[in-house]
Amino acid sequence: MFLVVGLGNPGGEYENTPHNLGFRVIDLLAERHAIRVNRKDSKALTGVGEIAGRPVMLAKPQTYMNLSGTSVEPLMAKHYLAADDLILVYDELDLAWGEMKIKPHGSAAGHHGPESVIASLGTADFVRVRLGINPGHKLRDGAEYLLSPISRSRREQAEELVGRGADAVASIIAEGVEKSMTKFNRRAPGSKTEEQ
C-alpha cells in the first residue's frame, strides 16, 4: 500500500495559506478517487482507497507542520509500511511560485515538515512532491507569508499547482518515480534556475 501524506496545519485559519498546499493535494486526490479522508488514525485524518488500481492511504497529519513526523512514523509502523511506500507532498519556499519537483530522496532543505518526518523515520529515502511557493521577491517575514491567505491574484495558479500535484502523485503510483520525474520536473514559466 502507498501512503500519501500531505503536510499542512489543521484549522480553518490555515486552510487557504501556502503552507497548506499539501493538505489541498490530499483533498483533491480524495475527491478524484472517491476516498473519504475522515478516519482518525495516529494523529492524522486518513482514508483508504485505490489510485491507478493500487491500494492507497491518504493522510493529513493533525499535529501542525513542524511535528508531522510524530504522526507519520506511528501511522507507518501501525500499517507495516516502509519508507519506499511513502509519498510526502508539501509546499517549498526554495522553489519558484508554481514550480513543482518530484524528488526520490534527499535532505529537508531547511523545511521543518519533512525535517520532522526524516527525524522520526530515521531515513530520508522516500519520495517527495514539492510545490513551489516562492513569491519571487525578498520576504520580510517568511513565517507570516507561509501562514497568510494566498493572494486573490494567485488563487487560480494555486489551484492549478494543486491539480498538478495530484496528477504527479497519481503518476508516481501508476508509473513509478523516474517516469514521473521526467514528465513533471519542469521549470515554472518565467523561472530562470533549473534545480537538480
Q: Which sequence positions are flagged as catalytic?
A: 19
In angstroms, the CA 13 to CA 59 distance is 20
In angstroms, the CA 164 to CA 48 distance is 21
In angstroms, the CA 4 to CA 32 distance is 14
Question: What residues are paired with 130 via a beta bridge?
Answer: 90, 101
Q: Which amino acid is at 178?
A: E
What sign for the dihedral angle of Cα 121, 11, 98, 168? positive
Output the nine-digit C-alpha cell for 188: 515554472
